[in-house]
């Protein structure tokens, strides 16, 4: 099965840019009730995944003296514990199933390693459930 069937295109994905401020990232996470969000570089490439935990622990450990300046600190300065591993556009469903056990979304990259969208754990589980229930 082609993974494009599951793809949520970049135009429909909420993401942040690496030069967004921490304040902006917090506002986006809160507005959408997300716990994690993709980070993109200026060239559209996937940089990593920013989580609520990254922000909380990063602020506590390294940035606590700058809390009043959250609108000036860029997201790229926040240490990240773990990035969601991306897949290429030609990945197969078996790869996605395995990855979904440890990632709530899977970034998808084109042949130039540019971010084109995500596939959610929910969509993968619904697909598998549909196959099992038949």
pLDDT of residue 59 exceeding 90: no
What is the arithmetic mean of pLDDT over 28-56? Answer: 94
Q: Which pLDDT score is estimated for 26?
A: 92
What is the arithmetic mean of pLDDT over 34-58? Answer: 92
Q: Which pLDDT score is estimated for 134?
A: 77
pLDDT of residue 130 exceeding 80: yes
What is the arithmetic mean of pLDDT over 86-99? Answer: 90
What is the pTM assigned to this prediction? 0.78
Output phi, psi for 16, to 5 deg.
-125, 160
Question: Dmax of the chain from CA atoms?
Answer: 57
Q: Which pLDDT score is estimated for 81?
A: 86
Q: What does the mean pLDDT of the chain come to?
A: 89
What is the arithmetic mean of pLDDT over 24-44? Answer: 94
Q: Which pLDDT score is estimated for 71?
A: 76
pLDDT of residue 67 exceeding 70: no
Query: HSE (CB half, 13 Å, CA atoms) of 21?
Result: 11
């Amino acid at each position: 099965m082609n993974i494009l069937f599951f793809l949520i295109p970049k135009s429909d994905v909420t993401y942040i840019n690496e030069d967004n401020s921490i304040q902006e990232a917090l506002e986006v996470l809160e507005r959408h009730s997300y716990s994690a969000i993709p980070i993109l570089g200026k060239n559209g490439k996937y940089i990593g995944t920013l989580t609520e935990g990254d922000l909380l622990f990063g602020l506590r450990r390294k940035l606590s003296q700058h809390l009043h300046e959250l609108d000036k600190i860029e997201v790229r300065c926040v240490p990240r514990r773990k990035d969601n591993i991306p897949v290429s556009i030609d990945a197969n469903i078996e790869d996605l199933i395995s990855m979904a056990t440890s990632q709530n979304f899977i970034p998808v990259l084109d042949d130039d390693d540019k971010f084109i969208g995500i596939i959610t754990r929910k969509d993968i589980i619904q697909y598998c459930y549909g196959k099992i229930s038949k």
